[in-house]
Structure 1
């Protein structure tokens, strides 16, 4: 039995590495296209254009988080016998949510325009909301692909869609479209996801909609939604506070530094996150292998992230003026980029700890942690904005590097101790 267990572990380890490879290759393709696009944007867009685009995308991300509501995660994590009925329930729920979100974002555009005293924000915020009415067509299929651990398909779809987005952004920026160069492609590329997902998965809504499994979905998904809401608030609260209290132009500098620096690290972290969750869900009934896999994942994360962040931060003073132009150096973007980059050091470890609880159907623990962390981070940024965008960047990094390692250590000890007790009662 021990030999069989070791063989199974080796097989799953290889699969995990393959998934990381596929997602990593996808992110590499995306980053190549995004790098070229970022260079063009940096040279053809003004800080005000960046600031307006940041507000539009921030609004979109705040509302779009309701589409990351845990419904797909429940399909990935569910027992085999429940999957078909859960898919039918999920399909109808996704459409209902999409219609509500489209209406809310259009109404919110009026409040956002008034908040920032800029009526030019209304149209792009409403236009990008149309994407909510496109993606429900393929949300169930996407979840089933994740459940089947065919992350090579997701990698292909993502790389094609995002690369097309970046090409369109570059073309529109060169055409003098300003902030529309960033906003408009988000809508134009949405059908690509639908077409490719339909091509690679055969599931269709051929039976009637049912709500028989709605309680199974909502009891799990409501906590995941809470986590996602807090996450998206954390990811945008610095934009919100800087834009309101420091100014749109300062927000443009900060937004550029964040995306030119941390954007690369977040892409890598997301690739790890997607691969790790699917893998951990397959092992939640095998505690011994689960422990081995989790600890291996932590080591791999450290091997990938730490050298990358150190290298990128140290080279920032050289590549920013060379690649993006001297105007960003003059506006102080380099120091912001370096500080923000360092916050990536602790992020993937905290993500791994949270996914461990989620794989065992315990998202309530992840939710409690996120509430605490979000309150601390928002408070720190609020104080940091008194010293401008550099103060906000320092607040973000210090909060991440202080609290996330503590959470990772606590969560790892808590869950692995419980699993060891199951192995050796």
Structure 2
């Protein structure tokens, strides 16, 4: 009986896709472990702080590519409109990505002045090059996700991770500093183009057209707002600490956050990448949607709860052993960040459920309110140092996210709510 129940929990298309993505994340973590150890032993706290700023800039820029917004629209689109949506999305991606490229070149110097670190200018300018390559693979990637062929996405992740981490380790050992994390981003982006073009036949249209662009922008615009607010929350602690407590404090905090949240996030990504297309397949069937949502939620948390508990509990042992004694000060921060992954994961499920049934405006409004609460909490906590900031991250997520999630589930699954939402 127990064996049959376990088989039921860990079977089906969702778990198959999770298996592919989980395998990719496992390989990524193995490759990344060598990189993290190398950087921890070769980088100073200041260099970690500079790295945090560069990654923050790139993450914010990624939001404006509308990768999630346009990609989500392609995944959700009806079959008869798919070609038009894909072709128009291609040109929209080019307009957005080229604009981001120019904007980063213009902002590189002001950002370096803000942080008092002139060495940030050229790495930020160089990282802008990846946005001239993105439009070539974003549509293919979304179409593959729509078809639930996440093993192709997993292949891309494994190949890029292997090459990028190898380059990072080599450059770090050669004393290249922050360039050890910038060059791999640029040099490995073509891997996505090669693999995704190999596994999907869609090709860029020859004729320029923006047919139905308003529909795409309306759907993606709300998700752009959500993604932007999420990035504000993901990085506002870096901004507050870097500006208020200095680059060394930011470096310690970033190490703890990356070592704690980074590992857990890889596990979460395996589930959440598979979730949205899995739910969209049954968006017109309220009962099937309900079954898939709660089944996926149960399967996800049956794995991540023990994983996060183990990671947080063993932190005092593996941090000094693997990363070095100089990072032991960051262990309490790492533990708090690990625990915050649980409510964060639930919020992703909530967002995907609302987006599946077209309620992106609700997602946007909630994220706006929550971001204000989150930012205010951190501004208060920073007075007591980086540990208090980490505690503020955990506290705000534990209090706000479950309440909204329960409300959103009740709203979507109440009688006739789905049919109204899709009209």
TM-score using structure 2 length: 0.94
Specify which of 402, 414, 417 is matched with residue 411 of structure 2.
Answer: 414
Which residue is 1:344 aligned to? Answer: 341
Query: Would you say 1:324 and 2:323 are equivalent positions?
Result: yes
Contact 2:28/2:162 (CA < 8 Å) preserved in 1? yes
1:373 aligned onto 2:370: yes
When residues 206 and 409 of structure 1 are mapped into structure 2, their CA distance, relative to the original with a 3 A threshold, is closer
Unpaired segments ≥5 residues, structure 2 = 1-7
Residue 261 of structure 1: aligned partner: 260
CA distance in 2, matches of 1:253, 1:99: 34
Give the equivalent residue in structure 1 for 2:13.
15
The 5-angstrom pairing of residues 17-32 of structure 1 reads 17-32=15-30
For the pair 1:279 / 2:247, whether they are aligned, the reply is: no
2:212 corresponds to which residue? 213
Separation (CA, whole Å) in 2 of partners of 1:234 and 1:421: 30
Structure 1 residue 16: deviation in Å? 1.0
User: Aligned to 1:56, which of 37, 54, 57?
Assistant: 54
Structure 1 residues 304 and 404: alpha-carbon distance in aligned structure 2, compared to 1, 3 A threshold: same
Shift of 1:209: 2.0
For 2:290 and 2:74, the matched residues in 1 are separated by 23
| Aligned 8 A contact 1:13 1:293 in 2 | no
Please give the secondary structure, in 1, of the residue aligned with 2:415: helix
Name the CA distance, whole Å, in 1 between partners of 2:210 and 2:395: 45
Moved over 3 A (4+): 418-423
Indicate the residue corresponding to 1:357 in structure 2.
354
Q: Deviation per CA, 1:143-202: give whole Å up to 9, x if none.
A: 110111101100111111122111111111111111211222111111111111111111
Match of 1:346, SS state, is helix
**CA distance in 2 between partners of 1:355 and 1:214 (Å):** 22
2:392 and 2:130 mapped to 1: Cα distance?
34
CA separation of 1:88 and 1:41: change in aligned 2, threshold 3 A? same
Q: Secondary structure at the match of 2:297?
A: helix
Deviations 1:269-324 (A, max 9, x none): 12211101010000101111111111111211221111111111110000000100
Q: Is the 8 A contact 2:69 2:220 kept in 1?
A: yes
Report the Cα distance in structure 2 between the residues aligned to 1:206 and 1:404, rounded to whole angstroms: 42
Whole-angstrom CA distance in 2 between matches of 1:377 and 1:206: 43
> Displacement, 1:13?
6.1
Moved more, 181-190 or 25-34: 181-190
In the TM superposition, residue 60 of structure 1 has moved relative to its aligned partner by: 1.6
Counterpart in 1 of 2:381? 384
Report the secondary structure of 1:70's partner residue. Answer: helix
> Unpaired segments of 5 or more residues in structure 1?
1-9
Structure 2 vs 1, CA of residues 419 and 262 (structure 1 numbering), >3 Å: closer, same or farther?
farther
Q: Offset at 1:422?
A: 6.5
Distance apart, 1:420 and its partner CA: 7.9
Greater shift in the superposed pair: 313-322 or 197-206: 197-206
Matched with 2:5 is none
Counterparts of residues 49-128 of structure 1 (less than 5 Å): 49-67=47-65, 68=67, 70-128=69-127
Question: Does the CA-based 8 Å contact 1:88-1:208 persist in structure 2?
Answer: no
**RMSD of aligned residue pairs (Cα, Å):** 1.6
Distance 2:389 2:376 in 1: 11
Query: Separation in 1 of the partners of 2:276 and 2:147?
Result: 12
How far the C-alpha of 1:421 sits from its partner, in A, is: 8.6
Contact 1:381/1:392, CA 8 A, preserved across alignment: yes
Number of residue-to-residue matches in the alignment: 411
Secondary structure of the 2:414 match is helix
Look up the match of 1:288.
287
1:71, distance to aligned residue in structure 2 (A): 0.8
More displaced stretch, 314-323 vs 62-71? 62-71
